[in-house]
Amino acid sequence: MSNELVSVVIPTYGRSLLLKRAITSVLEQDYKNVEVIVINDNKKDTVDYISTITVMQDFDSLPNIVFISSGENVGGSEARNIGIKHSSGKYITFLDDDDYFYKNKIRKQVEHLINNDIDVSVCDMDLDINGKIESAKKGKCNIGSIGNFISYGNSYTPMFLMKKEVLDVVNGFTITPRFQDHVLMLKILENNFKVGELHDSLFVHTEHDGQGITSEKNFKAGYLIRTEIEKRNLFRVTTGEKSRYFVGYYLSMARLLRNEGAFIKSIRHIFHALFYVRSIDDFIRVSKRTISIFVLKSSRN
């Protein structure tokens, strides 16, 4: 088996209490040739900035840990890009500060990448839902062709292990407040890199409640960046995939318009989505979104 260096990039913001668990899960891998790059994305002199530095002092003696702490809050995308620039590995993977790897994560993905002669390995994940570890559809990666990914894709950043050169070609992560993982995979597929799915749950992802005004603003900004890339690749999508895509697109726009109080425009987008419905599953999606719009409108009146 290959023993090439693997770099693990961990941006951290506001979760110093969980950071040690994440780092330890990398150090305890059964694939030993790893380096850990931690980026402190907390603003200087805040409680989280200081507590992160305190946590990292426990790892001071380890030569394979790189700690970057500039005192600036640059966001997840740029923090990962900083980590990429400081990485030395032939391969690179990512971990969020509140998630953790199973012990065989890196080894299995390196083997998958080499044995299948691919550029990117994408694995499944388990979910931590209120402290309970579960396997769910949300934890199953779905990549395939770029057409399939545009219409059905599911990926999270820690699922990826790839050759570092892939990130060099696609210029790393696009600066966006949401959908960083989805946008990165779109760029990888757009550049015709070979991506393989490894249907084995190799890490635990912690679920959080994503509601709130800031979250909705981030959703809108990120979604517009995502759709820009998707739309320029629609010529690579089959008729069936395109129908599925536009159902999702119009439902997402209906959500954004609903949250901005534009209920009439939101309903119009629901009708646009109905035009593209080709399956029972898509009809159910449209029905649920329609109900949510009317329920929210009633609650605001």
In sequence order, the 6+-apart residues with CB closer than 8 A to the CB of 255 are: 266, 289
- pLDDT at site 1: 63
- pLDDT at site 126: 97
- pLDDT at site 300: 41
The C-alpha torsion from 181 through 186 and 189 to 193, rounded to 10°, is -40
- pLDDT at site 196: 98
pTM of the predicted model over 0.85: yes
- pLDDT at site 214: 56
- pLDDT at site 8: 99
- pLDDT at site 218: 87
What does each C-alpha distance from 233 to 88, 113, 182, 240, 272 come to in angstroms?
33, 26, 14, 15, 21
- pLDDT at site 296: 55
Q: What is the chain's pLDDT, residue by residue, as a tens digit (301 residues)?
A: 679 999 999 999 999 999 999 999 999 999 999 999 999 999 998 999 999 999 999 999 999 999 999 999 999 999 999 999 999 999 999 999 999 999 999 999 999 999 999 999 999 999 998 889 998 888 999 999 999 999 999 999 999 999 999 999 999 999 999 999 999 999 999 999 999 999 999 999 998 765 445 577 888 899 999 999 999 999 999 999 999 999 999 999 998 888 888 888 998 999 999 999 999 988 998 888 788 776 655 444 3
What does each C-alpha distance from 213 to 181, 217, 218, 220 come to in angstroms?
22, 6, 9, 11
- pLDDT at site 255: 87
Helix 213-231 × helix 239-259 angle, to 10°: 150
In sequence order, the 6+-apart residues with CB closer than 8 A to the CB of 91 are: 4, 5, 6, 7, 110, 113, 161, 162, 163, 164
